[in-house]
């Protein structure tokens, strides 16, 4: 997911004691469990997850009917954090621990704004939860670890390459995302761990340019963990954050040579119903003239809450026209688990 994605080379390494010492990872807060090395305990709460999607799910065409990636155990009751696109529209899930045990999982919540998803194990996991750190405290150049579910051999080093705004082509915007290098290919839901062994981000993408300025340095984008605590209680209680939802149009849009061009419209979504087509060039939103994805989304969201009519001025085959799109809450479009 992301127009600047690339197939990153796999860099997962088995960490030596010397490298752990260099990164300053501390284990004094919780001595290793019997039979576990410090590294094994560090990653015991970083697991594999599988999600089984509702047969009529609207995201099956783009994301598939069975999805897998990494999950991160964040409490002693088996609450598992992952990146939301792995489990959105799931009716059930499965957690695969590093010792091979398989445990069923229920869908807890999904937040489109941040991209976080939550599952809960249906039986005790008996692993050490990964404690939260501070993503705000990270600085460019800091050494970190990237942990993928599957054990100590799937833990590797990285550096913070940038902290900057990120706009995704699927109506997604983070004011500040974390970018790391080198790239890890199996990025979905990966745990970004700081020097103190604490969780600071959740893997979302592999990108071709971490700087955003055309440097061409590939890496990964992580969603900052600091975005979770303010909404965690709401996600656990009701499956979503409370409050007014942003207007959603169902557009997939690319920035091309300074222009905003519709790549795809979501079938049965608001833009599709209104008549927006792939290939349309977006000229304006009302009186505003956005020149970037971030500007486009802010212009749309400034129209009010979900349900607002958004006037989208487009150019098609050299002819300009304005199309009225009645926005919706994206959750209303999705086939979410009934528990949400």
For the segment 148-165, the average pLDDT, to the nearest whole number, is 95
Beta bridge partners of 92: 52
Would 279 be classed as within a structural domain? yes
Q: Are 271 and 282 in contact (CB under 8 A)?
A: no
Domain co-membership, 29 together with 122: yes
What residue numbers bound the domain in which 214 lies?
A: 143-227
Would 1 be classed as within a structural domain? no
Domain co-membership, 216 together with 309: no
Q: Are 328 and 309 in contact (CB under 8 A)?
A: no
Domain co-membership, 298 together with 219: no
Would 4 be classed as within a structural domain? no
Would 138 be classed as within a structural domain? no
**In the listed set 238, 273, 291, which residue is the last one of a domain according to the structure?**
238
**In the listed set 204, 238, 272, which residue is the last one of a domain according to the structure?**
238
Question: Which pLDDT score is estimated for 305?
Answer: 97
Question: Which pLDDT score is estimated for 41?
Answer: 85
- pLDDT digit string (tens) for 72-101? 999 999 999 999 999 999 999 999 999 999
Domain co-membership, 93 together with 195: no
Domain co-membership, 24 together with 125: yes
Domain co-membership, 221 together with 163: yes
**In the listed set 238, 263, 285, which residue is the last one of a domain according to the structure?**
238
Domain co-membership, 124 together with 147: no
Per-residue pLDDT at 12 exceeds 60: no
CATH of the domain at 279: 2.30.42.10
CATH of the domain at 159: 2.40.10
Please tell me the distance from the alpha carbon of residue 304 to that of residue 284, in angstroms, as a whole number: 17
Would 290 be classed as within a structural domain? yes
Question: Which pLDDT score is estimated for 22?
Answer: 41
Domain co-membership, 85 together with 173: no
Environment class of residue 268 by beta-carbon count within 10 Å: exposed (0-12), middle (13-18) or buried (19+)? exposed
Whole-angstrom CA distances from 266 to 70, 152, 278, 326 are 27, 40, 10, 14
CATH of the domain at 27: 2.40.10.10
pLDDT confidence of 35, banded at 50, 70, 90?
Answer: low
Domain co-membership, 39 together with 106: yes
Would 243 be classed as within a structural domain? no
The domain tally of the chain equals 3
């Amino acid at each position: 997911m992301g127009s600047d994605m690339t197939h990153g080379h796999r860099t997962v390494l088995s960490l030596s004691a010397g490298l752990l010492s260099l990164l300053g990872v501390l284990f004094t807060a919780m001595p290793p469990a019997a039979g576990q090395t410090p590294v094994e305990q560090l990653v015991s709460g970083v697991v594999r997850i599988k999600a089984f999607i509702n047969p009529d799910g609207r995201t099956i065409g783009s994301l598939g009917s069975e999805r897998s990636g990494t999950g991160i155990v964040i409490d002693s009751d088996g609450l598992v954090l992952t990146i939301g696109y792995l489990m959105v529209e799931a009716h059930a899930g499965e957690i695969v621990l590093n010792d091979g045990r398989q445990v069923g999982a229920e869908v807890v919540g999904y937040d489109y704004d941040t991209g976080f998803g939550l599952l809960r194990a249906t039986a005790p996991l008996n692993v050490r939860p990964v404690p939260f750190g501070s993503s705000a405290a990270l600085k460019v150049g800091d050494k970190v670890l990237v942990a993928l579910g599957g054990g100590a051999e799937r833990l590797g080093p990285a550096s913070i390459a940038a902290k900057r705004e990120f706009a995704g082509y699927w109506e997604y915007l983070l004011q500040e995302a974390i970018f790391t290098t080198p790239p890890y290919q199996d990025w979905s839901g990966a745990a970004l761990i700081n020097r103190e062994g604490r969780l600071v981000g959740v893997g979302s993408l592999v990108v071709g340019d971490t700087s955003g300025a055309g440097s061409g340095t590939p890496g990964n984008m992580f969603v900052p963990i600091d975005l979770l605590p303010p909404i965690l209680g709401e996600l656990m209680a009701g499956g979503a954050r409370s409050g007014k939802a942003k207007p959603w149009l169902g557009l997939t849009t690319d920035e091309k040579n300074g222009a905003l061009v519709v790549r795809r419209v979501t079938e049965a979504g608001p833009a599709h119903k209104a008549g927006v087509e792939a290939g349309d060039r977006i000229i304006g939103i009302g009186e505003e003239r956005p020149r970037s994805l971030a500007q486009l989304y802010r212009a749309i969201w400034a129209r009010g809450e979900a349900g607002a009519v958004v006037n989208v001025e487009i150019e098609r085959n050299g002819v300009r026209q304005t199309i009225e799109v009645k926005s919706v809450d994206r959750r209303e479009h999705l086939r979410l688990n009934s528990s949400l």
